[in-house]
A and B are shown apart, each in its own frame.
Chain A
């Protein structure tokens, strides 16, 4: 009986007037969409291809769990580009921002990052790219920007292998000898070493290490293990989180049974840092201090960790902008423009954008006021020397790393980060 009913339905599918009406409706709808698209395309055309516009691409995670650091970082870069326009660009050019989000379902995503960079590369008016925020995203992007010969400057990725050693050479797939990836922050080698030293200085010697198995987190945790052991501490165990996990109680029960006097976490808030800290309270480890890198330096960490956020120590691969004399003007301008406080990497992003702006302006002058080539911009970025930025004078070594690496350490007290110390590396 059921089959015959279905058969009847089938027969009517092609004849009934209802379906003809539907067909018309579909036609009209698609026509409307077509017209609407054509109209937006027309209205976009003059502004995007305006004779003298140069675009600077930005790829950062600005939605989801990463948004609380991603947005202030993006704001810093946008501010620098607006400032450059206000000063006036040589040759009558003006800068425009092309900002893309590499977060998918609320978490930074290497595949999306690669897609974004492809989009930016495909636009000939994009002469430099700022970003990304996360080291695993950078790993997906470096081969692309290397191949395209476009300068990419990151404010925040700290995985050492992105610029140094065999890993970096392998990432530069098309032109192994050309460096197109630069960063204004220091590396995990320094960060891990400094957190280990800080922990030892505070008197901790039995650490349980947990990481999130991502490029950044695992790299940082491995450096911490080495440095903490070298400094006379012992690592009681090293565990890895799986992405999307919510229950860390079994893991923390295991950690507690080893009686550590501190827990180190290599990873980000998005990969579970804050929730991990919160659940330390549930298994009776609220008083055990929690150490991490810049991945847990965001406001979301404190929200996630709730009442047990206190007793967390972390470093940021940036100067504490409020402590740096060159940064005062930047912070004031940032507050005026965005009506909010700077994030841990806002000043770095401003500096990265300034590097790009200076290189492009120099390239315009070299091209006698005509549209410069990406190659010229890249050469100028690599040759950056003594550029004054809110985080100090910027220059790059032959790997694309800053010659002015700075770290700041913080402790969370009463639910607020408190600046502990600032560390400079002269190389």
Chain B
């Protein structure tokens, strides 16, 4: 029983990172129907940016009190901004000109951008895993036989907060409204005076900033990263987005948590080497019975 609870916690914290990355996939797909394969690498960039900022701040060990708060806020915000900037740049130079091209063209460009980012990161920080300083203290709470590491709780909480903020942003702000309009019908939105280019750029900015959050969180949580990390994480996050209903923000979140849980429970009750088989079988089953994903039809508009 304790083991089961422990595995649920493990699964949720793993899923939280997938969910944060999946939000970016789903936002971009929702608005321009592009699978942004470079997104997983923007997530890895988030970890490297955090690492660089921590290096600039001269931080290498655990911090406490106000110092901790300041460093976390500065690093997180910095990583978000830098990732958001990278996302906007990618959209401007790699995708914008191909917006009306056949669908295969931007897809291939996305794969190309992914390779470019991976190789830039390899040149920047070398091809070996790089340790990330663990600045957040990690006391463990004991609840019965279950150990709750602070880091795990922070990861889960942060993912949920980010999703809620994103929901509010999309539902309540002017630019969110413009995003929804653009997702529904780009030409009609343009006719109504919405600046399509700005709206799509903002989508990339927000989605990539969320990848920056995920990158920071995964650096703190695992204490290590390497340039190729985003490939696999991106694949899972994309799967999460499809599972939850691509284009749907709550669905991406649900899909992320679900995949994390499925992985943890598969490891516990079957075997770790069956993880991929089970995850992708679940995906196939869901798509057979609900081709739009779990929440694909629950909401009228995408984005």
Q: Which A residues are closer than 8 A to B by beta carbons?
A: 2, 6, 63-65, 67-68, 103, 105-106, 213, 239-242, 244-247, 249-251, 253-254, 257, 274-275, 278-279, 282-284, 300, 303-304, 306
Q: Which of A68, A103, A246, A250 contacts B272 (CB 8 A)?
A: A250
Complex: chain B residue closest to A258, CB-CB: B3
Interface centre among B10, B13, B147, B264 (most CB of A within 10 A): B10
Q: Is the CB of B128 within 8 A of A242?
A: no
Q: Given A242-B276, A306-B223 in contact, is the A250-B10 Cβ separation under 8 Å?
A: yes
Q: Which of B7, B14, B131 contacts A304 (CB 8 A)?
A: B131
B64 to chain A, nearest CB (A): 18
A277 to chain B, nearest CB (A): 11
Q: Does B229 touch A at the CB level, under 8 Å?
A: yes
A105 surroundings in chain B (CB, below 8 A):
118, 127, 228
B169 to chain A, nearest CB (A): 29
Q: Given A242-B275, A244-B232, A284-B140 in contact, is the A275-B222 Cβ separation under 8 Å?
A: yes
B272 surroundings in chain A (CB, below 8 A):
239-242, 245, 250-251
Lowest 10 CB-CB distances: which A-B pairs, in order?
A: A64-B127, A106-B127, A250-B264, A250-B267, A240-B273, A244-B232, A257-B3, A250-B10, A249-B10, A251-B272
Q: Is the CB of A239 within 8 A of B271?
A: yes
Q: Does B227 touch A at the CB level, under 8 Å?
A: yes
B147 to chain A, nearest CB (A): 6
Complex: chain A residue closest to B119, CB-CB: A105
Q: Does B263 touch A at the CB level, under 8 Å?
A: yes
In addition to A106-B128, A244-B232, A304-B131, 4 A-B residue pairs with Cβ atoms within 8 Å of each other are A65-B226, A106-B226, A242-B275, A249-B14
B212 surroundings in chain A (CB, below 8 A):
none
Q: Which of A106, A246, A300 contacts B233 (CB 8 A)?
A: A246
Q: Would you list 10 pairs from A and B whose C-beta atoms are within 8 A, ordered by A residue? A: A64-B128, A68-B128, A105-B127, A242-B276, A247-B14, A250-B263, A250-B264, A282-B151, A300-B128, A303-B131
Q: Is the CB of A304 within 8 A of B271?
A: no
Complex: chain B residue closest to A210, CB-CB: B272
A249 surroundings in chain B (CB, below 8 A):
10, 13-14, 264
B145 to chain A, nearest CB (A): 9
B129 to chain A, nearest CB (A): 5
In the bound assembly, the distance between CA atoms of A103 and B127 in angstroms comes to 10
Interface residues of B in 247-276 (CB under 8 A from A): 263-264, 267-268, 271-273, 275-276
In the bound assembly, the distance between CA atoms of A106 and B128 in angstroms comes to 7
In the bound assembly, the distance between CA atoms of A284 and B122 in angstroms comes to 32
Q: Is the CB of B129 within 8 A of A65?
A: yes
B11 surroundings in chain A (CB, below 8 A):
250
Complex: chain A residue closest to B11, CB-CB: A250
Chain B binding site: helix, strand, loop or mixed by DSSP? helix
B13 surroundings in chain A (CB, below 8 A):
249
B147 surroundings in chain A (CB, below 8 A):
283-284
Q: Which of B7, B218, B223 contacts A253 (CB 8 A)?
A: B7
A246 surroundings in chain B (CB, below 8 A):
218, 222, 229, 232-233
Q: Is the CB of A239 within 8 A of B224?
A: no
A275 to chain B, nearest CB (A): 6
B7 surroundings in chain A (CB, below 8 A):
250, 253-254
In the bound assembly, the distance between CA atoms of A6 and B99 in angstroms comes to 12
B273 surroundings in chain A (CB, below 8 A):
213, 239-242
Complex: chain B residue closest to A272, CB-CB: B129
Q: Which of B127, B267, B271, B275 contacts A65 (CB 8 A)?
A: B127
Q: Does B149 touch A at the CB level, under 8 Å?
A: yes
Q: Does B37 touch A at the CB level, under 8 Å?
A: no
Complex: chain A residue closest to B266, CB-CB: A250
Q: Is the CB of A278 within 8 A of B223?
A: yes
A130 to chain B, nearest CB (A): 22
A374 to chain B, nearest CB (A): 34
Q: Does B109 touch A at the CB level, under 8 Å?
A: no
Complex: chain B residue closest to A303, CB-CB: B131
B265 to chain A, nearest CB (A): 8
Q: Given A2-B100, A246-B229, A282-B149 in contact, is the A253-B10 Cβ separation under 8 Å?
A: yes
Q: Does B231 touch A at the CB level, under 8 Å?
A: yes
Q: Does B6 touch A at the CB level, under 8 Å?
A: yes
Q: Is the CB of B276 within 8 A of A253?
A: no
A267 to chain B, nearest CB (A): 13
B264 surroundings in chain A (CB, below 8 A):
249-250, 253
A218 to chain B, nearest CB (A): 10
Q: Which of A65, A213, A241, A251 contacts B128 (CB 8 A)?
A: A65
